[in-house]
Amino acid sequence: MIQLAYFTRNDFIQLMNWIPSEAFMVQWAGTGFTFPLHTHQLEQYIKEANHPASDTFVYKAIHTETGRVVGHVSLKVDRRNESARIGKMLVGDESMRGLGIGYHVIEAVTALAFHAFKLHRVSLGVFDFNDAAIACYEKAGFKKEGLLRDARKAGKEYWSLWEMSLLEEEWKKRSQ
């Protein structure tokens, strides 16, 4: 249902169009970018990514049935600790939201982490109010580790962030 391919300059405009507001940007990327998202930021984002020796891998999510790019996700690999962090997860195509696409993106990126990169642990952060994302991650086997209270500021609000993780042996049990 979902195939991951490297995110390239050809994908910049589509991603920029998916980010409609500063609050949405913070929810998607934390403090990694400033709004509005622009080409220079994305050039820096992929500058050192997607090479065999890189620690950052940036993907677009392609819906295999339609061939359309429907989402985005990144994986930051820590080879020394055999772990990675999923970031910037987005089902950007609004017509595809609520159809389980996010779950398939998470399944694809965790398969890369555990199978291709041979890692032991994958983590992610999700804002505590994002019930749909939390349910998606739990369905994929992620477990809540702790709540970082008021961890991010969005406008005049503070948002709390759940830290979640999935271990290799948990993933293997799910994959059997």
Of residues 174, 152, 173, the one with CA closest to residue 163: 152
Does 176 have pLDDT greater than 80? no
Say if CB 25 and CB 3 are below 8 A apart: no
The number of distinct structural domains making up the chain is: 1
Please, which residues bridge with residue 162 across strands?
126, 147
What distance in Å separates the CA atoms of residue 87 and residue 169, rounded to the nearest whole number? 22
Say if CB 8 and CB 45 are below 8 A apart: no
Using one digit for the tens of pLDDT, what is the confidence trace for 88-131? Answer: 999 999 999 999 999 999 999 999 999 999 999 999 999 999 99
What distance in Å separates the CA atoms of residue 69 and residue 67, rounded to the nearest whole number? 7
Say if CB 26 and CB 10 are below 8 A apart: no
Structural domain including 27 reads: 2-175
Token couple for 166: 């999935």
| Other Cβ atoms closer than 10 A to 62 | 18
The Cα-based distances of 13 to 16, 17, 80, 100 in angstroms read 5, 6, 35, 24
Using one digit for the tens of pLDDT, what is the confidence trace for 14-49? Answer: 999 999 999 999 999 988 899 999 999 999 999 999
The Cα-based distances of 58 to 14, 51, 130, 157, 173 in angstroms read 15, 10, 22, 29, 27
Using one digit for the tens of pLDDT, what is the confidence trace for 58-100? Answer: 999 999 999 999 999 999 999 999 999 999 999 999 999 999 9
Check residue 175 and give its pLDDT: 67
What distance in Å separates the CA atoms of residue 11 and residue 23, rounded to the nearest whole number? 22
CATH number at 10 reads 3.40.630.30
pTM of the model: 0.95
For residue 36, cis peptide bond before it (omega within 30 degrees of 0) = yes
